Amino acid sequence: MSTKSSQPKSHFVPFTPEIEAEMLQQMGLDSFDDLLAGIPPELLEHSGIPLPSGKSELEVTQEMEKLASSNLSRNDVISFLGGGSYDHYVPSAVPYLTSRSEFATAYTPYQAEVSQGTLQAIYEFQTMICEITGMEVANASLYDGGSAVGEACLMAGRTNRKTKVLLSGGLYKNYRQVVETYLRHSPLEITEIPTKAGVTDLEWIEQNLDDDVTAVVVQSPNRMGLIEKWSRVGELCSNSKALFIAVGNPLSFGLFAPPGECGADVYAGEGQVFGSPPSFGGPYLGLFATKMDHVRKVPGRLIGATEDIDGKPGFVLTLQTREQHIRREKATSNICTNQGLVALTATIYLALLGKEGFQKAADLCFQKSHYLSSKISDLPGFEIPFGDRFFNEFVAKCPVPSQTLVQKGVEAGLLVGTSLDDDPNYLRIAVTERSTKEELDTMVKFLKGFA
């Protein structure tokens, strides 16, 4: 028997000064500093990164637990935070199923013959989003609500070749920032639609909807929690080439008319409400649905149902107009993944709720939030300035700065809501089906101390 080692030879080549010099020479550079010349000096760190010395697994675990303990958990406090991320109840079956290895480790289903499970799950997701929104086609998801709005604006520009985007002042401000980033190097320009009494000024839209407008973007419920008159926006846009982009909480369509019934050309929204926890901001789920007329301009990809040569049903990537599949200048989006596991989470969540459960969850959010709103309006010095035309989120005007309430609330184990810069005394409060009557009454009792 041979004693010669059967281990393959290593192909590792150490990086030496000679190799570095040769690489720099090939690039026409004299030194490594020349390679970094394009980076602004203020962004370069010359003193070295002050990393701590290595630690054992036990020490690292203890350090991470210490850092984690500084966060506030929903299990330890009562939360009324909202603004696009909501504390809904997630059935235990949802994380159990999504954590199964065949789902958790699956990636892009390029090969249909080995990806039927993933393709079917995404196909079901698309179908559910169409049913909920009343639209004709939905894509296989985007990064989050903000990116979905940005992609919708770009699609409008590709569709009608116009350049002006009318963006409602009722849009979440973080969505507005994402859209500005998306459009910064595009031909599209943003004009803000003013608001009146917390809702979009429809008369302003009517007066400014000229031939240069590519899209009108209106969110409902908007950032004040108020329900907008989507049908009227749809009527205005139907007489122009501008696309009506409806943005909103998809759970609200369990009670209110969905965008497809209000004349919307595109729906863009956040799917976090479908089975994903707030999780400090992500990963989230960008929902995108539109009319079949625009299917070839939709960003991302679409899954379709088909049959093989034997007539057996199957699923395939029907459209995948991403830059890694076709020429970059022809691509509809440079998004290279699709939050597939979060889309699966939404699919399982919706399948568990069913139509009746979906409507029940929406109704509970509505009833509980209106109960809290009415109790707060009875407190001396408090008022609900925009009325009760809201879904699950509303603004209260307080007798003290809302930031004071936020800070004192943390000390009392309450995340009372979000301060708004529209008015220092505005407090935005969100309620979900998870909020109990005891928690709602605790909130009222806390606020009563500032009346």
Q: What is the pLDDT of residues 161-202, one digit of tens each?
A: 999 999 999 999 999 999 999 999 999 999 999 999 999 999
Q: Where in the chain is the domain with CATH 3.40.640.10?
A: 93-349
Summarize pLDDT for 17-60 with one digit per residue, the tens.
Answer: 889 899 999 999 999 889 888 888 888 876 677 778 889 999 99
Cα–Cα distance for residue pair 360/367, rounded to 1 Å = 10
**Average confidence (pLDDT) over 378-396:** 97
Burial zone of 383 (CB within 10 Å; 0-12 exposed, 13-18 middle, 19+ buried): middle
Which residues are bridge partners to 138 per DSSP? 289
**Beta carbons of 256 and 246 less than 8 angstroms apart:** no
Q: What angle do CA 226, 231, 232 make, to 5 degrees?
A: 90
**Beta carbons of 159 and 213 less than 8 angstroms apart:** no
**Beta carbons of 369 and 86 less than 8 angstroms apart:** no
Model pLDDT, residue 139: 93
Q: Under the phi-then-psi rule, with left for phi > 0, alpha for psi from -120 to 50, and beta for the rest, what region is 31? A: beta
Greater confidence (282 vs 96) lies with 96
Model pTM score:
0.87
pLDDT at 3 over 90: no
Residues 6+ apart with CB under 8 A from 14: none
Q: Which of the four CATH numbers 3.40.50.2000, 3.40.640.10, 3.40.50.2300, 3.40.50.920 does domain 93-349 have?
A: 3.40.640.10
Closest to 259 measured CA to CA, from 126, 133, 128 = 133
Confidence of residue 334 (pLDDT cuts 50, 70, 90): low
Cα–Cα distance for residue pair 72/430, rounded to 1 Å = 17
Structure tokens at 20: 């570095």
- The CATH architecture one would assign to domain 78-90+356-448 is Alpha-Beta Complex (3.90)
Cα–Cα distance for residue pair 288/265, rounded to 1 Å = 11
Which amino acid, one-letter code, is at 375?
K
Report the first-to-last Cα separation within the chain, whole angstroms. Answer: 91
Chain centroid to Cα 139, Å, comes to 14
Q: Where in the chain is the domain with CATH 3.90.1150.10?
A: 78-90+356-448
